Every structure is written in structure tokens, then in C-alpha cells.
Chains A and B, each alone.
Chain A
């Protein structure tokens, strides 16, 4: 079984046992999530976002043994990321009063809900055929052109639009009956 499809709880258990590959997968699984919260929701400049990013995973590593509920990994990471982002903004506000306005972003729960929902959709991609996950990720998340996708995946660029459309339909089908799983959690 690929680690990419292992449940968060099992991943945490493996990380606790010192499984290096499990830790790499945990970082991989949540890297986009942490990055999106820092850069998209809190609009941190890249150097600050990088510090937050590394801090989040350092704290996650340090607190693996203290996670009371292994299934609470995502909310735990979300909370840590939000707190560290707000700390950064507060530190910036002390140095540059104009940054005070950015602290109002603390209440951007809609944006945070969207990031949560996006993570759930991203996880759902794993259940699609590999070529579908790859093509959707390259086109939408990586913003690659038809030409770049065609070259990378060795498929005719002229067929990419129809493949994207088919894969979106498959993704939608994948979500059928699973709505409860994709509801952003109440934290």
C-alpha cells in the first residue's frame, strides 16, 4: 500500500515509530495546505511564509507524541499555522504600523474554509486514475499550459482540454455520496 493513501492516523503512528518515509509523506500531504494558509489567507511575504512553514512542521514533529487524537492532525496543523501567521503579522505590525490592517485578516474564516475544502478535494484526486490526478493538478494547481502538460505527459496538446473536462467529471463523480467527508470541519 502506498503511503499516499494511508490515513492520517496511521501516518502519525508510523511517524511516532521513527518511520522517515511516513514523515516525508506527512510533510508532502500538508505542505500545500500550510503554504496556502500562510500565503493565500494571511498573505505573508515569502520569507515570513517560509519561516512559518518550517516552524509548523518542526512543532508537528515535536508534538507527535502529544496529539491526543491521531485523527486530529489536520486541525492541529491548521491551528498551529494560523497562530504562527498571526504572530508574524503582529511582529510586523510592531515594526510597521501599516501592517496592523493585515491583522484584520485573522477573521477570514471563509478563506480558511475554502482552503480546508480545497485540501479535501486534493485528497480526493488520489482516488482518480493517476493520469487524471496529474493532468488536473498540472493545469489548475500548477498553472501549466497545454503545451507544457503535453510535453511532460507525452500526450498531444490538442487532446488536453477534453481530458481535463473528462477528469473533472470523474472527480465530481468521485465526490458523489461523500459530501459529509468534504464538509470543512468546525474547529
Chain B
């Protein structure tokens, strides 16, 4: 292998291959650990707090909002699964 493969034209082509991912996607992925901790906390609370459990079973989104949780909408299906399993 020689360095000719990295002439300036080739380098330019390779640099163009990796545009940034959308900022919102990156931010959501970076916040994943906190989001997962929040899901764990909600699931644990639903296990030990009967009133909260009844509220999330009746209307998950409303119960979360009322309890002050701000769960990313993309994680709601997973949370729902956790709460019903």
C-alpha cells in the first residue's frame, strides 16, 4: 500500500462520506443513560407505589406528566412494556 491512495482528491472524497448526523439524533443518544435511569426509576416506583401504578396503568403519559417525569416519547413503548411485564 502506498500513500498515493491518499492523494488530495481521494482525501476529499473520503471526507465527504461522513457528514454530521442530525444534531437531535446525537443529543438523544447522548442522553440515553439518563433516560434509561429514569425508566428504571419509574418502573421501580410503579412496583412499590400502588397509587402511581394505578395511574400509569390508566393513562401512562398523563401519569408521567403529573408526576413530573419528562420521558422522551420514543422511550414510551419500552416503558409501557416494562410496566406490563
Tell me whether chain A's interface is mostly helix, strand or loop, or mixed: helix
CB neighbors of A among B1-52 (8 A): 1-3, 6-8, 11-12, 14-22, 25-26, 28-30, 32-34, 36
Query: Are A175 and B6 interface neighbours, CB within 8 A?
Result: yes
Name the A residues within 8 Å of B2 (CB-CB): 179
Q: Does A43 contact B (CB under 8 A)?
A: no
Query: Are B32 and A61 interface neighbours, CB within 8 A?
Result: yes
Complex Cα gap A115–B29 (Å):
21
Complex Cα gap A75–B67 (Å):
41
Query: Are A23 and B18 interface neighbours, CB within 8 A?
Result: no
* Interface 1/0 per residue, B51-64 and A, CB below 8 Å: 00000000000000
Complex Cα gap A137–B18 (Å):
9
Name the A residues within 8 Å of B29 (CB-CB): 27, 31, 53-54, 57
Tell me whether chain B's interface is mostly helix, strand or loop, or mixed: helix
Query: Are B28 and A32 interface neighbours, CB within 8 A?
Result: no
* Interface 1/0 per residue, A154-181 and B, CB below 8 Å: 0000000000010011011001100100
Q: Does B84 contact A (CB under 8 A)?
A: no
Q: How many residues of A contact B (CB 8 A)?
A: 42
Interface residues on B, range: 20 to 34
Q: Does B74 contact A (CB under 8 A)?
A: yes
Query: Are B21 and A35 interface neighbours, CB within 8 A?
Result: yes
Query: Are B11 and A57 interface neighbours, CB within 8 A?
Result: no
Q: Does A88 contact B (CB under 8 A)?
A: no
CB distance from B59 to the nearest CB of A (A): 25
Residues A176 and B15 in contact in the complex (CB < 8 Å), given A31-B20, A57-B32, A141-B20: no
Complex Cα gap A50–B25 (Å):
7
Residues A121 and B25 in contact in the complex (CB < 8 Å), given A24-B30, A142-B20, A168-B8: no
- Those 8 A-B pairs whose CB atoms lie nearest each other, nearest first: A140-B15, A35-B21, A118-B17, A57-B29, A32-B18, A31-B21, A24-B30, A118-B14
